Amino acid sequence: MKIERHFTKENQPYLDLPFEPRNSIIKEPDGSIVFELSDAMVPAHWSQVATDIICQKYMRKAGIPAALKKVHEEGVPEWLQRHIPDAEAMDKLQPEARFTSEIDARQVFKRLSGCWTYWGWKNGYFDHEKDALAYHEEMLYTLASQAGAPNSPQWFNTGLH
């Protein structure tokens, strides 16, 4: 496939989409807090409902390795290579610092778009590397601008393994 850019410039997927910190809180009727995330970065134009959904449902709350390393695969561009936990680097961290969570919508967008682009590349869908990069960055913009969205299982699972 040839992919033309419509909303992005190379290496600038969020060109006109500013992000800002937001808080997301779920309270019980008695006022007790069930969920709270402060200063999550989301697109500035998003509603509070959209903010709450990505924060409460789709950002990974735990299990994100604090240190990653690329997995070299012949024929896969460096920017698209998969990452795995860097056990050596993680061993140097305090146990409580070895894993983290997603706190920025761009982490979620990158997880999804990166996975889709990787498998598109591996299956020969793109004519050239520039088409894969354009697809990846246009998809980042599409997710951030809310011009399109996958179904819920994609948000939950894509790009985790």
75 burial (CB, 10 Å; 0-12 / 13-18 / 19+) is exposed
Across the chain, how many H-helices and E-strands are there? 5, 6
Hunting for tokens 């598109």 — which residue is that? 120
pLDDT at 12: 96
Half-sphere exposure of residue 6: CA atoms within 13 angstroms, side-chain side: 10
d(CA 55, CA 138): 22
Contact 60, 101 (CB under 8 A): yes
Q: What is the mean predicted confidence (pLDDT) over 102-128?
A: 96
Q: How confident is the model over 45-69, as pLDDT tens digits?
A: 999 999 999 999 999 999 999 999 9
Provide the H-helix boundaries in 6-147.
Answer: 48-53, 87-91, 105-122, 129-145
Q: Where are the domains of the chain?
A: 1-61+103-161, 62-100
pLDDT higher than threshold 70 for residue 77: yes
pLDDT at 151: 78
